[in-house]
């Protein structure tokens, strides 16, 4: 694998074009673009990225995971009375201590706990919980109950702490960019697999052929492209997601700048994903496929700070038992394989995994053998640098202590975000979260 320290094409162009070698042979928009980039760099904080930097992997358990059947209060009578057909018996549950246990399908997840790599945060939620999938997800993604909030909590992190960084600072494995990435100056990419992530063009005559637009940008500054490719075998940096145009660039210049970035991105992603092999066997599932790709990109030296992956299917209104068991088993096995893969690579010390779901489920089972939308639920934080065990206070299940039949939150989810921002990503959390939330002692 070629060294990730070698200059990328963007670095090559910066050092030549910005350094004063702009001549009449360089297209005007390139000169204007890199002059703008130089001005931005002069006012930017030092990028908090690099091949040795810490990495956050966010895993969304989409649909509303049933926290009570994930972290089971196996000594709590209220739990068993509320769920005569769905409760999991102490004999089957995987006991973690004298009070709580994991779902029986999560044996490999228990290995992470036993190895001191799993922190479980009780009762996570927010005031005045919303039971709408869309609205509650929006609240988690933006870290704000304000409906007018445009930017995601990670997007605000990019704006505050990653100025001057390449767009590879954030990668979502999926078709649609999560709202958490929304920022004033858009950064990051979304991809399903490296083979399908290609420079977009509407004039490609047949599949697999390079389109005229891509050819144009590849031929632009051809000598520089050849030099960079001979050094790095992959081209340059990943293109920014089009969004708000910087004030000192025209819309056309900004579009061309974005295309100039993007035209080399697919080569780099593809080279990294093929140049590094997964070191362990993963289960066959979409979640595993996502985590396998993340592991290869980390192993390839991509200077990404945040990866985002999702697992869906947790909206278990009916016949929950079998479906929930399959989901948690996949979740457990996939994460254990991912953590082991990183450990074999020698990268596990750099990676922290945080999971979330938009809400938990109600205490009482419904008439269809499932559970309905609820409120508070546990979160998981995983990695060799976590303080293993439990944090936060488990919500009371007594009828008088419920909020409209739901568990009351005892830990604001933004305290978990503050922990990740301050203790892992090493950046102040108040400008990002809008106000002070005390971090938890888990990292």
- CA pair distance 166, 258, nearest whole angstrom: 12
308 phi, psi to nearest 5 deg: -135, 125
Nearest Cα residue to 328 out of 8, 94, 171, 158 = 94
Beta-bridged to residue 100, according to DSSP, are 73
Give average pLDDT by consecutive 10-residue segment, the chain, 443 residues: 40 36 39 43 40 91 98 98 98 98 98 97 97 96 91 96 84 91 87 61 39 43 36 32 45 47 58 84 96 94 93 97 98 98 96 98 98 98 96 97 95 98 97 96 94
Handedness of CA 305, 268, 281, 356 (dihedral sign): positive
- Rounded CA-CA distance 284/195 in Å is 19
State the Cα–Cα distance between residues 263 and 13, nearest whole angstrom: 14
The structure tokens listed for 403 are 């909020």
Neighbours of 181 (CB within 10 A): 26
DSSP 8-state secondary structure symbol assigned to residue 406: B
CA 55 – CA 195 distance, rounded (Å): 24
Q: Are 385 and 330 in contact (CB under 8 A)?
A: no
61 half-sphere exposure, CB direction, 13 A CA radius: 29
**Contacts of residue 389, Cβ cutoff 8 Å, sequence gap at least 6:** 119, 120
Q: Tell me the whole-structure pTM to 2 decimals.
A: 0.78
Task: Write out the DSSP string of 313-336.
Answer: ----SSSHHHHHHHHHHHHHHHHH
Report the alpha-carbon distance of residue 328 to residue 334 in Å, rounded: 10
Residue 22 confidence (pLDDT): 33
What pLDDT was estimated at residue 314? 98
C-alpha closest to that of 348 among 297, 305, 383, 303: 383
Residue 281 backbone dihedrals phi, psi, to 5 degrees? -90, 125
3-state class (DSSP) for residue 90: coil
Task: Look up residue 418 and give its two tokens.
Answer: 């503050």
Distance CA(247)–CA(231), nearest Å, equals: 34
- Helix intervals (H) in 181-246: 212-219, 222-232
Radius of gyration of the chain (CA): 23
Q: How confident is the model at residue 267, as a pLDDT?
A: 67
Which ranges of 61-199 does DSSP label H, i.e. alpha helix?
Answer: 77-82, 107-114, 133-142, 153-161
Structure tokens at 35: 């002059």
What is the DSSP secondary structure assignment for residue 361, as one 8-state letter?
A: B
Question: Between β-strands 94-95 and 411-412, what pairing exists: parallel, antiparallel or unpaired?
Answer: unpaired
**Tokens encoding 4:** 């990730």
């Amino acid at each position: 694998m070629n060294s990730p320290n070698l200059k990328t094409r963007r670095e090559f162009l910066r050092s030549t074009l910005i350094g004063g070698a702009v001549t009449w042979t360089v297209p005007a928009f390139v000169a204007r673009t890199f002059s703008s980039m130089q001005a931005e760099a002069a006012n930017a904080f030092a990028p908090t990225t690099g091949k040795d930097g810490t990495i956050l992997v966010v895993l969304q358990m989409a649909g509303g995971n049933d926290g009570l059947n994930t972290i089971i209060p196996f000594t709590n009578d209220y739990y068993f009375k509320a769920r005569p057909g769905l409760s999991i018996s102490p004999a089957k549950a995987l006991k973690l201590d004298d009070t709580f246990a994991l779902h029986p399908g999560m044996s490999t997840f228990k290995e992470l706990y036993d190895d001191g790599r799993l922190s479980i945060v009780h009762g996570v939620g927010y005031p005045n919980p919303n039971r709408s999938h869309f609205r509650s997800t929006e609240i988690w993604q933006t870290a704000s109950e304000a409906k007018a909030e445009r930017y995601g909590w990670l997007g605000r992190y990019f704006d505050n702490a990653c100025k001057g960084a390449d767009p590879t600072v954030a990668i979502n494995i999926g078709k649609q960019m999560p709202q958490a990435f929304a920022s004033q100056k858009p950064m990051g990419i979304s991809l399903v697999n490296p083979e399908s992530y290609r420079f977009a063009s509407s004039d490609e005559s047949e599949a697999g052929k390079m389109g005229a637009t891509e050819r144009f940008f590849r031929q632009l500054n051809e000598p520089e492209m050849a030099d960079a490719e001979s050094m790095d075998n992959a081209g340059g940096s990943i293109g920014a997601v089009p969004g708000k145009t910087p004030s000192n660039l025209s819309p056309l210049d900004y579009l061309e700048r974005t295309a100039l970035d993007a035209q080399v991105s697919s080569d780099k992603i593809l080279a990294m994903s093929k140049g590094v092999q997964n070191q362990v066997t993963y289960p066959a599932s979409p979640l595993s496929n996502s985590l396998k790709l993340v592991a290869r990109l980390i192993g390839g030296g991509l200077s990404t700070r945040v990866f985002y992956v999702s697992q869906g299917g947790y909206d278990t209104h009916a016949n929950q038992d079998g479906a929930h068991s399959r989901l948690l088993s996949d979740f457990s096995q996939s994460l254990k394989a991912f953590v082991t893969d990183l450990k074999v690579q020698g990268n596990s010390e750099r990676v922290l995994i945080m999971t979330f779901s938009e809400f938990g489920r109600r205490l009482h089972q419904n008439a269809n053998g499932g559970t309905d939308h609820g409120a508070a639920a546990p979160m998981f934080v995983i990695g060799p640098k976590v303080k293993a065990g439990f944090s936060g206070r488990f919500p009371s299940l007594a009828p008088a202590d419920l909020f409209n039949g739901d568990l009351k939150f005892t830990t604001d989810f933004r305290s978990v975000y503050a922990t990740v921002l301050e203790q892992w990503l090493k950046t102040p959390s108040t400008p990002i979260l809008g106000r002070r939330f005390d971090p938890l002692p888990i990292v």
